[in-house]
Amino acid sequence: MPSFSFIHAADLHLGSPFQGLALKDAAVAAVFVEASRKAFSILVGLAIEKRVDFFVIAGDVYDGDWKDNKIGLFFNREMARLERAGIPVYLLRGNHDAASVITKTITLPPNVHEFPTGKPGSVRLEALKVALHGQGFAERSANDNLAIAYPAPVSGWFNIGILHTSLTGREPHAPYAPCSVDDLRSRGYDYWALGHVHDFEVVAQDPLVIFPGNLQGRNIRERGAKGAVLVTVEDGRIDHERLIVDEARFAQVDIVVGPEDDQAAILRHVEQAVQPIADEMAGRMTALRVRLSGVTPLQGAIAANRQQWRDEVEAACHRVHEDIWLEKLELRLEPPLERAAGTDGALDLRQLLAGHAGDTDIAAEAARLIDEIAVRLPGGLGATEQPLDDSMDALIEEARQLLLARGQGAG
């Protein structure tokens, strides 16, 4: 069997609008939008530099239907770079760019081969003795196990399965094209190039099953380095390495506040926690979430003056590095026990709120209010997984912080 190499990428989400960021800071959102394109251009450049034999994209090239042809023209430009370098591309559609979702088209160069959506298809690369098998999504929601219908392997060749799937479930990703590793293993392939899950994961070694993750983090849940995978096959041995190409990142720091800490001390803790992130930025803008927890008599003042504290924390971040932007200040603070309990035997508000933690009625009412607000949000934000840019639990906790602050008279 000849030696060869290929790049396995997925979840490019070209055209992602970063609407949540745009509502907070349009300039920062613009940086992340451009970063998504730059990341893919860098990856294409690496493919050409490393002279890979082919390029695989396991779904979600696009984030959704195009407003205009700009994103299609961008993808065409990058595919044309690979065409001129003699590198073929094999891709399929995922839930975000399913056949029913994308209504506009741009003619792509002849090196781009798309797998069918009605049934699995196969492509044979005779010179390399490689067979690729895949099926894209016809509809956004694919609830069937597509893997079990993939064809038998080509005997004596290196067989690659390409699939956009959640496997048996990967929160918070929707359970599309569900299947098990045993389902994949039953096909007898040598490598499974998966997409849909945005975190890098080596799912299995025999055969090698990999989620490369997405190329560029899109929200605070997608933190850390992002990229694709370079796979090399030589003398029947399969090696892989990550290619990190992201141009902007999300990060989070958790800071525990002590009862003795005043404002200056808290801000020093922020600077100390942020410094390691600044040391690893390597020119990338970072959208940072800072979470403050612990017991402090300042809980009421911080909760009641959240915007001022947010600005102070962002200023602390900028004292460490000018390209760290505060995505959110998240409060998980508690007042001291003697502050939380009122006087003259008054009910301990903290204990009262704790008694309602996990209350299904409160959760149901919160969900109803979120739905009511979501329909009024601009630009389709209400249709996202988290229309208010945070989980329901986080929003309830934020409300709890405000109630504690009011119960103390804001300290």
Rounded to whole angstroms, the Cα distance separating 305 from 299 reads: 10
Q: Would you give the distance in Å from CA 355 to the centre of its chain?
A: 34
Q: Give, in order, the Cα–Cα distances in Å from 346 to each of 49, 172, 303.
A: 71, 42, 22
Residue 105: how many other CB atoms lie within 10 Å: 9
Beta strands 130-134 and 121-125, pairing class: antiparallel
Q: Report d(CA 219, CA 150) in Å as an integer.
A: 34
pLDDT at 392: 60
pLDDT at position 410: 44
CATH superfamily, region 4-244: Metallo-dependent phosphatases (3.60.21.10)
What sections of 176-256 are H helices per DSSP?
A: 181-185
Each of the 411 residues of the chain gets a pLDDT tens digit; together they read: 789 999 999 999 998 888 778 777 888 888 998 999 999 999 999 999 999 999 999 999 999 888 889 999 999 999 999 999 999 999 999 999 888 888 888 999 999 999 999 999 999 999 999 999 999 999 888 889 999 999 999 999 999 999 999 998 666 666 788 899 999 999 999 999 999 999 999 999 999 999 999 999 988 999 999 999 999 999 889 999 999 999 999 999 999 999 999 999 999 999 999 999 999 999 899 999 999 999 999 998 998 899 999 999 999 999 999 999 999 999 999 888 765 555 444 445 555 555 555 667 666 766 677 666 655 655 544 445 555 555 666 666 666 666 665 555 544
Can you tell me the distance from the alpha carbon of 45 to that of 168, in angstroms, rounded to the nearest whole number? 34
What pLDDT, on the 0 to 100 scale, is given for residue 383?
Answer: 45
Residue 155: which of 122, 181, 189, 186 has the closest Cα? 189
Say what the pLDDT of residue 356 is: 55
Determine the length of the chain.
411
Secondary structure of residue 404 in the 3-state scheme = helix
Domain ranges of the chain: 4-244, 248-407
Q: Which residue type sits at 380?
A: G
Q: Which residue has the tokens 């988290």?
A: 386
pLDDT of residue 100: 86
User: Quick one: which of 99, 178, 174 has its CA closest to 138?
Assistant: 99
Q: What pLDDT, on a 0 to 100 scale, did the predictor assign at position 345?
A: 42
Structure tokens given for 63? 């984030």
Q: Which two tokens stand for residue 6?
A: 């290929």
User: Do 270 and 255 touch, CB atoms closer than 8 A?
Assistant: yes
